[in-house]
Structure 1
Amino acid sequence: MIIKITKLVTLCLGLCCSCSTSKILLDAPARQKCFQVLREGLKSDAFWPSMHAAEALTLAGNSKEVRRLLETKLQAETDDRRRCGLARELVRAGDMAKSAVMLNILKGNNSYGHVHAAESLYKVGWNGNDAPLRAAFEQKKNDILRLMAAGALAKHSEDAKAMAFLREHMRTSTDPAQFRITAWLLGRIGGAKDAALIKARLKDTPNALTRAYLEHALAALGDADGQAALVSNLESEDPGSKVYAAVFAGDARMTSVKRQLTSLLNSNHLDTRIRAAQSLLVLAH
């Protein structure tokens, strides 16, 4: 009887945490707070959180606002990694021509911005020839670059070879820095069968942040244990685990965590506030 009750409780918890096609309801003050957080973030001196705020504003339907601010910033920026971030968010906001910025950085001789370019192209796609990404995927000197290029090709070109590479890497990589990125990719572009691959590597995670990457990928794939872990990570003492939980809550359509996300709008950590606001607006859409 105890075993049956335990199984029932586990099932109920999984259902409570599960992905949902329903929306959350945000009242006017909550919505206003979300946009306040995002607009403050967009104008922040913290560059990457400001790009996350741009992403969230675009997802919430405010792409014109993003383009007005970022177009002038891109013209003035000289750092290739930051140029990738700015171009990425301009593409997300509807200016597909800016994908040329990322492609040109990727095929350039200076490797400084290559990984950022491939990651950004994975996130938002591109116009034109994918030859720079194929070259990045085929090279053997930079494993992280290969992973990001594989993710981009698998997502946007439906490249079976790239997808097979990611799955094999998830299965066999001995480097936590690499298999956590692979999980991050598969959590967004993979399918239900990838959950088993990711779950098998949980025992190999050396720290809380690496484990959170895998747990949140599982959550996005609909895995009940991964979603339960994400709920716990929203209250983690580790800032990295918490901020990734906040953004993946939206990816996983976890409407059940509205209360926790709302609380995080008042976090002392800028990126956590931004990601919580993003997920609340995504879940309300």
Structure 2
Amino acid sequence: MKNVCLLWSNAFRCAAMFVCAGVLCVVTAIEAGEPSTIEDAERRSLEILQTGLQSPDLGVALNAAEGLTNAGKQQEVIAALAPQLKQTTESRRRCELARELVRAGERSSLAILVQALQDDVAFETQTAACEALFRIEEIGEGPILRKRFDQLQNINAQTILAAAALAQWGNPLATAKLREVIKQAEWKDLQIAAWAVARLGDAESIGLLKTRQQSASTASDRLALNAALALLGDETARHTLPSYLQDSDPLVRSEAIQFIGEAGIVAARPELIRLLADPDEGTTIRAAQAILNLSHRSDSPKSDPATNFARNVFPATPKFPRYSEGSVIALNDDVLLYAVTEFQKSSDHADAQIVARRSTDGGLTWGDKEVLQPNTGSLNVMSVTLRYLAPPTELHRPIGMFYLNKNSYSDIRVMLRISNDGCRTFGDPIRVSPHMGYHILNNDRVTRLSTGRLIVPLASTADVQRVNHFVCQCCLSDDGGKTWRLGKESVDYPKRGAMEPEVVEIDGNRVMMIFRNQLGHIAHAMSEDGGETWSEPQSLGVPGPEAPATIRRIPSTGDLLLIWNDNVEKGRHHGGSRNPLSLAISSDEGKTWRLRRNVEAEKGHEYAYTSVLFWKGRLLMTYYVGGAGKISSRFRSIPIRDLYTEPAS
């Protein structure tokens, strides 16, 4: 059986790559005859995909794997494809297997796709990795894919697919580039861009696609534009697309089938059921996949995880009046783990432990509470950070749980426990802060530099009851967290000093530290040597109360995101209330800030101690919500693309 490689000879057909052109029917193990009911068709479709998954033809197996994952059979996919990934050394084939394994929830295989983007990898393999990342809504950590996108002046399949993956993660320049390709590019490139904007749901491309449709001269070009328009909801295209099921070319039929299922064209179901007995293997696989897609669409709709939504995952109760200082991590199986401090009283010094909940649906719902770290301090444990300790190019990525072990007003120790099994168990505690004193590590504050160095930014004083003045200094590890040492210099500031720092890597190998203070603004200092020494601190130019601020780099754009309380009230406690909770973006490494907006601003509440995770094109935040003497912990999901729209006045 011969695979027909369609990826770049006809670029649009990357959406149906590896469809077989020969005749090898996978339904031989299934009784003949047309299914008599929808339920029978769905059962038969599932059997076709399960048989196809075992095919020696990799293209057939990959298409079957995609259909089975969409049908909720992820473990079957992992069991079938994981051994093949271990056995094959061909780089492009490894990308294709990794794509379907990540789609099925085996996120450790993402490392293979990120590795395939490196400069010394073959162009064809880089292109396959870009395409795979787009199809599974991933971008790694962003810089390498942004580099591929920056080459877009030389338009080719790789740069278009890199743009598509970044646009999926909210990059507005990448979305604009895709529209330019649709408007001006040759047909082979237009087809890829049409496929991309359709999956992005980019309604602004509809007019551009219709304009190009007028000059489409081949069946392939017409199908490409009809399919894209159908996915974007154009009724004429939705009506026209099923006509391609009658085409004599099995490849055209297969492509049309795929998009009919994705577009949810239920009226085509009888014809799809008939095609389950088609003599072409690729056609039957796609027909089975489409039938199951239509079945999924008929289920009761759930909340769309791509929208802006919030959940009070840890609401305050009489028994536990304070849940605060959280951190979220995406585990290998696509589960979100949300950890937080559970206090028995509202005080920072009350008895507390670190608890967590898990979500399997992107944060829409959360499971039962579990204890991640029981109280081992004389007072409490609190302020958790969950971090991968190795880059996404590594197949095995240990997870570090950093937290404070609080014994007294002069003894708070920063501790680290490492998990090698996805936070099911953790190793023995490793002491991070090397000396005695009252050390504050805010929640979700540990940074891994591009060099691999781990930085834990601390605010410290010898005894907070005797000396309520803090300086900031960083603990550093160059061996994945096994050993730690203190940076050479500290950062000080007037009044109560420099408090609650965070660090972010800036252009080159520089590091910026921002910190809380009492002067009515966010302050910052710079390091040229990875957190060892620091420049003289000064204002960042952003007003704010005495409250922590969070700064991160948006992976799809490279911009900085600032989260803080955009409010200063002289004479008030802490220089103003921690309301509103605001966002702003900088495209010049923090020199200026734009697109400011409020995330929360309800009167009578305060919001602070945020955590940040960028995941599947979304900004995932947690923060405390205080009011009426109680503090709850809230999860919020915001599409990254929304950050780049002008906020409502």
Counterpart for residue 112 of structure 1: 124
Q: Distance in 2 between matches of 1:63 and 1:152?
A: 23
CA separation in 2, counterparts of 1:44 and 1:252? Answer: 27
What's the secondary structure of 1:201's corresponding residue?
A: helix
Superposed CA offset, 1:194-216 (max 9, x none): 21111111133231112101110
Report which stretch shifted further, 105-114 or 241-250: 105-114
After TM superposition, the score normalised by the length of structure 1 is: 0.86
How far apart, in 1, do the equivalents of 2:173 and 2:240 lie? 31
Residue equivalent to 1:146: 159
On the 8 A contact 2:139/2:165 being kept in 1, the answer is no
TM-fit CA distance, 1:27: 3.9
More off after superposition, 254-263 vs 141-150: 141-150
- 2:164 aligned with 1:136: no
**Cα shift readout 1:24-77 (whole Å, capped 9, x = no counterpart):** x96442222101211221112222221110000000000000001111100111
Residue in 1 aligned with 2:92?
81
Evaluate the alpha carbon distance shift between residue 108 and residue 68 of structure 1 in structure 2; reply closer, same or farther with a 3 A threshold: farther
Distance (Å, rounded) in 2 between the aligned partners of 1:36 and 1:112: 34
The answer to whether the aligner puts 1:222 opposite 2:257 as a matched pair is no
Partner of 2:247: 236
| Maintained 8 Å contact 1:265/1:277 | yes
**TM-aligned CA distance change 1:26 to 1:53, over 3 Å:** farther
Please, which runs of 5 or more residues in structure 1 have no aligned partner? Answer: 1-24
Q: Is the 8 A contact 1:99 1:127 kept in 2?
A: no
Question: Deviation per CA, 1:86-111, whole angstroms, max 9, x where unpaired?
Answer: 00000000011211101101214122
Identity of aligned residues (%): 34
Compare 118-127 and 63-72 and name the one that shifted more.
Answer: 118-127
After superposition, residues 265-276 of structure 1 pair within 5 angstroms as: 265-276=276-287
On the 8 A contact 2:138/2:165 being kept in 1, the answer is no
Task: Tell me by how many angstroms 1:256 deviates.
Answer: 1.0
The corresponding residue for 2:170 is 158
Following the alignment from structure 2 to structure 1, what is the Cα–Cα distance between the partners of residues 189 and 210?
Answer: 15
Report the count of equivalent residues: 259
TM-score by length of 2: 0.39
Aligned partners of 1:216 and 1:226 also within 8 Å: yes
Amino acid at match of 1:31: E
In structure 2, do the counterparts of structure 1 residues 125 and 209 end up closer, same or farther at CA, with 3 Å as the change threshold? same
Residue aligning to 1:200: 211
Alignment of 1:1-285 (within 5 A): 27-109=38-120, 110-126=122-138, 128-139=140-151, 140-141=153-154, 143-155=156-168, 157-173=169-185, 175-285=186-296
Distance (whole Å) between structure 2 residues aligned to residue 247 and residue 264 of structure 1: 12
Aligned counterparts of 1:127 and 1:63: Cα–Cα separation in 2: 21
Using the TM superposition, give the Cα deviation of residue 278 of structure 1 relative to its aligned residue in structure 2, in angstroms.
Answer: 0.8
Worse-superposed segment, 119-128 or 224-233: 119-128
Report the residue type matching 2:137 in the other structure.
Answer: G
Structure 2: give runs of 5+ residues left out of the alignment.
Answer: 1-35, 297-649
Contact 1:133 1:149 in 2 (8 A): yes
Q: Write out per-residue CA displacement over residues 146-204 of structure 1, whole angstroms, 9 at most, x where no aligned residue.
A: 1000000001x20000000000110111x111001111111111333321111111133
Contact 2:114/2:140 (8 A) holds in 1: no
Distance 2:60 2:225 in 1: 22
CA distance in 2, matches of 1:104, 1:26: 46
Using the TM superposition, give the Cα deviation of residue 252 of structure 1 relative to its aligned residue in structure 2, in angstroms.
Answer: 0.7
- Give CA-to-partner distance per residue, 1:110-164, whole Å, 9 cap, x none: 2231111000000113374111211111125561111000000001x20000000
Q: Residues 27, 190 of structure 1: CA spacing in aligned structure 2 closer, same or farther, 3 A cutoff?
A: closer
More strand by proportion, 1 or 2? 2
Q: Secondary structure at the match of 1:90?
A: helix
**Superposition CA RMSD, Å:** 1.7
Instruction: State the AA in 2 paired with 1:145.
Output: Q
The structure carrying a bigger helix percent of its residues is 1
Instruction: Select the structure with the greater relative contact order (CA < 8 A; seq sep ≥ 6).
Output: 1
| Deviation, structure 1 residue 238 | 2.2
Runs of 4+ in 1 over 6 A off after TM superposition: none
